[in-house]
Amino acid sequence: MDPFWDPRSRRRRQQPVVAVHPADGAPAADRTWPASIPAVAQVLREGIDLDPGVTFLVGENGSGKSTLVEGIAVAYGLSPEGGSRQARHSTRPTESPLSEWLRIQRGVGANRWGFFLRAETMHSFYTYLEENPSTGPEPLFHEMSHGESFLAVLETRFDDPGFYCLDEPEAALSFSSTLSLIAVLRRIADEGGQVLCATHSPVLAALPGATILEVGEWGLRPAVWEDLELVRHWRSFLDDPARYTRHLLD
């Protein structure tokens, strides 16, 4: 039996698109950033095979999840400031050298298309699109709200079963818009694409069937949604907000 045949959709799934290996000469864990971050050090030591479908990296600020997403995206050939393999815009380079320390292996026959969506640089990416229009009509991104422009990118760029890297996309989205993003990610996975997403959103991380890796001082470890510190904190806060806020405001 073909292991990539999906009897539900009656079509063949793609093999895993991306596996990440340390490149020759990659540094060992040391005091040099970002190799000093436990999660980055683990990837430089062991590599990481991304599961088919959607993988979420969840952790506190500074845990290294965004650094990993950026490094893997750039090593794949995507623009460090967001966009596809063809995007070549740059304003103020801030990316780490991690991409130079990684080697990407794509599955046999995998689609080379990819897209890097990062909240902090999307404004400059919209300007780049205005200055370098595609052959078809583009949405007027700068005339939309932050959330509306994100949804427009999902509609116009997330339409092929390639490799998608997202860095905290929920930053621009309302609750209902985050649910729309969940539907987009599921569609990509069902069509044979692959997603790597750093997030702080318990809503986004609840996508059924997704792989969750919790990022912290331990490095990377598999987790289930119900056991995430992120989920426990949000549940506790929503049950009794005053219990948290009185310590801050008194």
The CATH architecture assigned to 5-249 reads 3-Layer(aba) Sandwich (3.40)
Q: CA distances (Å), 213 to each of 16, 68, 81, 139, 173, in order?
A: 17, 12, 24, 34, 22
Tokens of 70: 């950026």
pLDDT of residue 121: 62
Given a cut of 90, whether residue 173 has pLDDT beyond it is no
Give the model confidence (pLDDT) of 117-149 as tens digits: 876 666 666 676 666 666 666 666 666 676 677
Give the model confidence (pLDDT) of 186-224 as tens digits: 998 998 889 999 999 999 999 999 999 999 999 999 999
27 Cβ partners below 8 Å, 6+ apart? 35, 44, 101
pLDDT of residue 124: 67
pLDDT of residue 11: 44
Give the model confidence (pLDDT) of 5-41 as tens digits: 444 444 444 455 688 999 988 887 777 889 999 999 9
Distance CA 227, CA 172 (A): 26
Higher-confidence position of 134 and 177: 177
pLDDT of residue 159: 76
Closest of 110, 114, 119, 123 to residue 87, by C-alpha: 114
8 A C-beta contact, residue 52 and residue 209? no
* Per-residue b or e along 178-201, where b marks 16 or more CB atoms closer than 10 Å to that residue's CB: bebbbebbbebbbbbbbbbbbbbb
Centre a 10 Å sphere on the Cβ of residue 81 and count the other Cβ atoms it contains.
24
pLDDT of residue 178: 92
> Position of tokens 């650094």?
67
Task: Work out the pLDDT band at 158, boundaries 50, 70, 90.
Answer: confident
Give the model confidence (pLDDT) of 50-104 as tens digits: 988 999 999 999 999 999 999 999 999 888 877 766 655 555 666 789 999 999 9
pLDDT of residue 132: 67
**For the chain, which residues make up each domain, given as ranges?**
5-249
Tokens of 55: 């993988």
pLDDT of residue 5: 40
Average pLDDT of the segment spanning 141-169: 77
Closest of 50, 51, 48, 52 to residue 6, by C-alpha: 52
pLDDT of residue 6: 43
pLDDT of residue 134: 67
Distance CA 152, CA 61 (A): 27
pLDDT of residue 12: 42
